[in-house]
Structure formats: C-alpha cells, structure tokens
Structure 1
C-alpha cells in the first residue's frame, strides 16, 4: 500500500463511529463474569497469633522474624570487617590527580 492509500484508509476509520450492539456487550460481560473466580467464603473468626514469650522473642518479632535477624547479623559482621580491614591511606598519586582536577584554569 502506498502512503496515500493508507491515509485514505485511516481517514475512513476515523470517521466511522460504529458502536457495538447491546447484545454483543452483554455477551462480553457474561464471558468476563464466567472467567472471574468465585468469591472466597468469609471466615467467621480469625485466630490471633500467640504473644511472643520473652524479651528476645519480642525483639525478633518486632524486627521481622529470624530472616530479618539473619540479615542484620550479616550486615553487622560485614560492617565490623570493613572497620577492621579498612583500606590504607591514599598514596600521593591519587591526591595529586584530585588536586589538579580541582584547580580552576585562570
């Protein structure tokens, strides 16, 4: 198809404002309602969690449980390692480079 044929086709499509019939829309809605899952039955009463026993159990529960405590322990040990094995002082070469990069040309 050429560009002029496409322009004619698109112009015709823009001017054609046919609306779907009510029977078609009813069939679409019936199909949509058939595809929806059935609602879950209501629960009569929810069982509450037992209260944590002890200070440590309360702290663990407040922080998100044992998986969160594992992440906190890992992050803490990693922080201690970074503090212990800190990188050495910078050599003069990078310092000279940064000093030269920070000066403004005059």
Structure 2
C-alpha cells in the first residue's frame, strides 16, 4: 500500500496540530486539583486502615495438636499406625498366623499360644524384671 499526496498532506497537518498542542500546556483548575487531592486522601486513609496490623487468629486446638506432633503429615502417619495396631489387636492369632504364612505362631494343636519370645526370638521378654533379688 503506497501513500498518496493527500495522506502526506494530512500527516503534515497532524504534525502541526500536535506541535501546537505541545507548545500550549493548560493548567488544571483549582477545583479539579482539590477534587484529586481529596480523592487521594480518601484512598490513603482506606489503605492505611486496611494495612493496620490485626491480631493473628488463634489456631484451633486440633491445629495446635497436629503442630505439636510435627504437622499434618506426621499426624497422618500416627493415625495410620494406630489403625493398623487396632486392627492387629482385634485379629485373632489364628487369622494373624494365616496372614503371616504360618511363620508367627507354632502349631499347637488347634489352640493359639504365643509369647513375646515367639514373636521376638532371642529376647527374654520381661523375665529380667520379674527376677527376685536382682542386681
């Protein structure tokens, strides 16, 4: 697309108009300046009111409890371990022996008898605490 002479003349006329506009800088009226300053003062006061420090909300007892245990991830691990312990506590030894593949409890003729020594080999259990006249 090429420029025609009419476009060129209109560009020159626009340049003259812009030059005249730059030479004359009108001053705003006193009423306009007063309204601008009043509006700015209102915005500043609203900003200061919003920026005033507020007391941090106190965390709930559950949030404090979770934080004392190490956060929500630690609490989730603790709950999982607790539920697993409760489940193992309610499972009868026969079912537990079935789950372990028969390795946990020896065959006792249909009755499940187990002691700490069966579960933890090489451990004397609490025998050291029950000895009378211990050193």
TM-score (norm 2): 0.31
Larger Rg: 2
Q: TM-score, normalised by structure 1?
A: 0.37
